[in-house]
Amino acid sequence: MDKNTAGIGLVGAGFMGRCHANAFRSVSGLFDLALEPRPVVLADATEELAQASAAALGFPRATADWKSLCADPEVDIVAVTAPNALHEPVVMAAIEAGKTVYCEKPLSTTAASARRMTEAAEAAAITTLVGFNFLRNPMIRLAREVVAGGEIGEITGFRGRHAENYMADPDVPHSFRTQPEGGGAVADIGSHITSLARYLVGPIAEVAADCRTIHPTRPVAPGSAERAPVAVDDMTHALIRFESGASGSLEANWAATARTMDLSFEITGTAGAICFTQERMNELLLWSGAPGRSGYTRVESGPAHPPYGRFCPAPGHHLGFNDLKVIEVAELLDALAGGAPCFPDFREALRVQETIEAMQRSAAERAWIAVPGPAH
Ligand SMILES: NC(=O)c1ccc[n+]([C@@H]2O[C@H](COP(=O)([O-])OP(=O)(O)OC[C@H]3O[C@@H](n4cnc5c(N)ncnc54)[C@H](O)[C@@H]3O)[C@@H](O)[C@H]2O)c1
């Protein structure tokens, strides 16, 4: 790493790869950074794919070999935006080469794998960050302040949901998401609502879950008439109990026909409540419990909610999904420049993965399951 720049190696240039590349391109114009990102090399599954994406996304070099990317002396940060089954091998190679690792969620395919990655990173004192970008929303930061500051009293309940419709059509073909190592809806989007529940209310101690596959077969490939069984859930519902004693529920559903991005929650406290959905990500509904003032008040995002003002000096003009990645990348670069740890790091992502796996076990055994780990 030279004095003022960090070399970026990006592995995987699909939906998330493009989102990371956009964030690395935009962040310097919006944040005052001590360390600026410098795109170095992009890896994809083939040379052809890698070259096309590198040209489009502003990376000077391309490769089909992520191992060489991880070992590249010009690379300081390895951003892992490849399918879940590749996370562990790529991350382990990056750790071995002493790189900072910025990995997409879920951290890996199983809790055992996530634990190996976490222990290796910690043993090598590697800075890690996992892409739970929804935590970066200024409205979520506000929600955390409201909860942590006691503004709505003692938290008694959390009702959380991540519902989208991208797998609602039974003819959507198999992908890494529907393979057992993709983890199904509960891992793919259940990880997001689990990370939010932990961020806002704290560790989840036990779960009782029901996982259901709505579409038992899907085409083996785009346009194929051949169908293969689906081994993962389309929809999971879980009852949860937090270590604090608060209780509630989580739902992960990628076949929710009417929903495009209902990553949402309602938190009930003894003195008030808050309510949020990512479909209206610039608003937080707050009920402060004042007598004669029943019903939620809509709080609109603006410069009073950092780092909104980095993007726009006027309230109500709205941030978008890609802006959350820009904020995430700014926090990574700030942490690296200051030698500080990032959040959520691998240890936190491991806790999320353990919670997901407890839900899968609970559904299989039809029983309440304690989430493992001494300090969740
Ligand atoms: N944080 C979020 O909001 C969010 C949203 C979507 C996806 N994700 C996560 O991002 C990751 C990628 O998901 P996606 O939706 O971008 O998938 P995608 O299928 O759109 O992209 C995956 C990319 O990886 C490439 N790839 C496959 N094999 C490779 C190899 N051997 N070497 C290098 N590249 C290879 C593919 O060609 C493709 O370009 C997943 O872990 C997913 O869970 C996170």
Give the binding-site residues of ligand 1, using a 6 Å CB cut-off: 11-17, 43-45, 49, 66, 81-84, 86, 104-105, 131, 133, 188
Ligand 1 centroid – CA 212 distance (Å): 24
Q: What is the pLDDT of residues 84-102, one digit of tens each?
A: 999 999 999 999 999 999 9
- Please enumerate in sequence order all residues whose Cβ is within 8 A of that of 204, keeping only pairs 6 or more positions apart, or say none: 194, 197, 198, 240, 241, 242, 243, 355, 371, 376
Q: Best mutation site among 51, 61, 104, 107 for ligand 1, i.e. most ligand atoms within 8 A of its Cβ? A: 104
Question: Going by CA atoms, what residue is nearest to atom 40 of ligand 1?
Answer: 83
Question: Which whole-number Å values give the CA distances from 56 to 13, 226, 322, 333, in the listed order?
Answer: 10, 34, 17, 23
Confirm if 20 and 35 have CB atoms less than 8 A apart: no
The closest residue, in CA terms, to atom 5 on ligand 1 is: 16
DSSP character string of 333-345: HHHHHHTPPPSS-
For residues 211 and 230, what is the distance between their CA atoms, to the nearest angstrom? 13
What does the DSSP 8-state code read for residue 174?
Answer: P
φ, ψ (nearest 5 deg) of residue 302: -170, -175
Read off the tokens for 178: 């529907």
Q: Which two tokens stand for residue 13?
A: 């240039």
Ligand 1 mean position, distance from CA 177 (Å):
10
Interatomic CA distance for residues 208 and 189, integer angstroms: 18
Q: For residue 373, give the DSSP letter.
A: S
Which numbered atom of ligand 1 lies nearest the CA of 17?
16
Closest of 175, 162, 191 to residue 255, by C-alpha: 162
Nearest to 204 by CA among 234, 160, 140, 235: 160
Q: Is residue 6 pLDDT above 50, yes or no? A: yes
Answer yes or no: is pLDDT of 2 > 80.
Answer: no
User: Ligand 1 atom closest to Cα of 16?
Assistant: 16
- The mean pLDDT value of the chain amounts to 96
40, amino acid identity: V
* Ligand 1 centroid distance, CA of 301 (Å): 30
Q: Which residue has the higher pLDDT, 36 or 290?
A: 36
Which amino acid residue places its CA nearest to atom 19 of ligand 1?
14
Report CA torsion sign: 5, 30, 25, 114.
Answer: positive
Residue nearest to ligand 1 atom 33, measured at CA: 44
pLDDT of res. 288: 87
Q: How many CA atoms lie within 13 A of 345 on its CB side?
A: 16
Can you tell me which atom of ligand 1 is nearest the CA of 53?
39
Which residue has the least CA distance to atom 15 on ligand 1? 15
- In the reported structure, the alpha carbon of residue 44 is separated from the centroid of ligand 1 by a whole-number distance in angstroms of 10
> Has residue 226 got a pLDDT over 60?
yes
How many angstroms does the Cα of residue 12 sit away from the middle of ligand 1? 6
> For the segment 273-304, what is each residue's pLDDT rounded down to a tens digit?
999 999 999 999 999 888 888 899 999 999 99
Residue 33 corresponds to which tokens in the numbers above?
């950074």
Query: Which atom of ligand 1 is least distant from the CA of 13?
Result: 39
Task: Tell me, in angstroms, the distance from the centre of ligand 1 to residue 325's CA.
Answer: 15
pLDDT digits (tens, 9 = 90+) for 97-147: 999 999 999 999 999 999 999 999 999 999 999 999 999 999 999 999 999
Helix axes 138-148, 190-201, angle to 10 degrees: 40
CA of 140 from ligand 1 middle (Å) equals: 25
CA-nearest residue, atom 6 of ligand 1: 16
Q: Is the pLDDT of residue 198 over 60?
A: yes
Q: CB neighbours of 114 closer than 8 A, spacing ≥ 6?
A: 106, 107, 108, 346, 349, 350, 353, 354
Contact 357, 209 (CB under 8 A): no
Whole-number Å distance between alpha carbons of 208 and 237: 8
